[in-house]
Chain A
């Protein structure tokens, strides 16, 4: 998708470094993250529909912590925080339906 404003903005930006998602690095880092951060990563992964590879990594870490005696209720945290997010809706009204709705009153 293209539009002029965005293209103009991009043209004025410095060269953008091509950043690659490094799952191995994430796996190395998760032990140092807080429970809440791990949950937030799971929520973001699900909400934004990323490749959903980060969520299992974080979930595994949370499960390891629970098995080790951590009582953090991550299922509840995820459920509550996820519900706070606004619903995403990318549907575009189609002209056929809009016309049918408008004409419907007439015919």
Chain B
């Protein structure tokens, strides 16, 4: 897996959604998804390692790409430390698999993940091909200039957002464990 490529894909998508600022997307011409007009009533609750409870915002927006086909997007601000912003985002086009991306901004070691689920429960990391088509799809939406509206009827996608965030945690936890074992010269069980 080309981790650097995946990071750039995610950065590009988040830039186009106005979530992060980059030099290749004009902030003035980009409507941010992370706007109070898209703020949902649901909150994401975290317990930090210090035991503090954090309540973070969730934003939801959607567009109607054709008569009955809604494209929905939920974004969770998962930032726990101000210097390391992190976001979880899930998107779903009606009758298509749900895709999720997660990014932790860290200059030394960013965490990036793009995953897909086809059964509304289980997530699998995307191949480079699927990552590329995900980017292409998001670019297509931007180029066609659809207008985002606040998301309605997002209960199912919200529950998928939560499973995706948990999946991200377990995925990187498992990766870190494997790295530690490799560094110690132990064979993975």
Chain A residues close to B by CB (< 8 Å): 1-5, 7, 92-100, 102-103, 105-107
**Which partner residue on chain B sits nearest A6 by CB separation?**
B122
CB of B170 within 8 A of CB of A99, answer no
Q: Report the interface size for chain B: residues with CB under 8 A from the other chain.
A: 34
Interface residue? B54 (CB, 8 A):
no
Give B65 Cβ to nearest chain A Cβ, in Å.
Answer: 5
Q: Which of B87-144 contact A (CB under 8 A)?
A: 91, 93, 95-97, 99, 116, 118, 121-125, 129-130, 133-134, 136-138, 140-141, 144
CB of A95 within 8 A of CB of B122, answer no
Interface of A is mostly: helix
Complex alpha-carbon distance, A25 and B59, angstroms:
59
Cβ-neighbour of B65 out of A1, A3, A93, A106 (below 8 A): A106
User: A-B pairs with the 10 shortest C-beta distances?
Assistant: A94-B133, A98-B96, A95-B137, A96-B133, A96-B137, A96-B136, A102-B69, A3-B122, A1-B124, A99-B137
Complex alpha-carbon distance, A94 and B98, angstroms:
10
Chain B residues close to A by CB (< 8 Å): 65-67, 69, 71, 91, 93, 95-97, 99, 116, 118, 121-125, 129-130, 133-134, 136-138, 140-141, 144, 163, 166-167, 170-171, 174
CB of A95 within 8 A of CB of B65, answer no
Q: Which among A4, A95, A97, A102 has the highest number of chain B CB atoms within 10 Å?
A: A95
Complex alpha-carbon distance, A98 and B170, angstroms:
29
Contacting residues, chain B, for A3 (C-beta < 8 A) = 121-123, 167, 170
Count of A-B contacts with CB under 8 A?
69
Contacting residues, chain A, for B67 (C-beta < 8 A) = 105
Beyond A7-B170, A96-B140, 10 additional pairs, beta carbon < 8 A: A2-B171, A3-B123, A4-B163, A5-B121, A96-B137, A99-B65, A102-B66, A102-B69, A103-B66, A105-B66
Complex alpha-carbon distance, A95 and B90, angstroms:
12
Cβ-neighbour of A4 out of B125, B136, B167 (below 8 A): B167
Cβ-neighbour of B129 out of A5, A93, A94, A106 (below 8 A): A94
Complex alpha-carbon distance, A105 and B130, angstroms:
23
Complex alpha-carbon distance, A42 and B65, angstroms:
48
Complex alpha-carbon distance, A103 and B138, angstroms:
13
Complex alpha-carbon distance, A105 and B134, angstroms:
20
CB of B93 within 8 A of CB of A98, answer yes
Complex alpha-carbon distance, A1 and B69, angstroms:
30
**Which partner residue on chain B sits nearest A15 by CB separation?**
B189
Q: Which among B66, B124, B141 has the highest number of chain A CB atoms within 10 Å?
A: B66
Contacting residues, chain B, for A7 (C-beta < 8 A) = 170
Complex alpha-carbon distance, A100 and B69, angstroms:
12
Complex alpha-carbon distance, A97 and B95, angstroms:
12
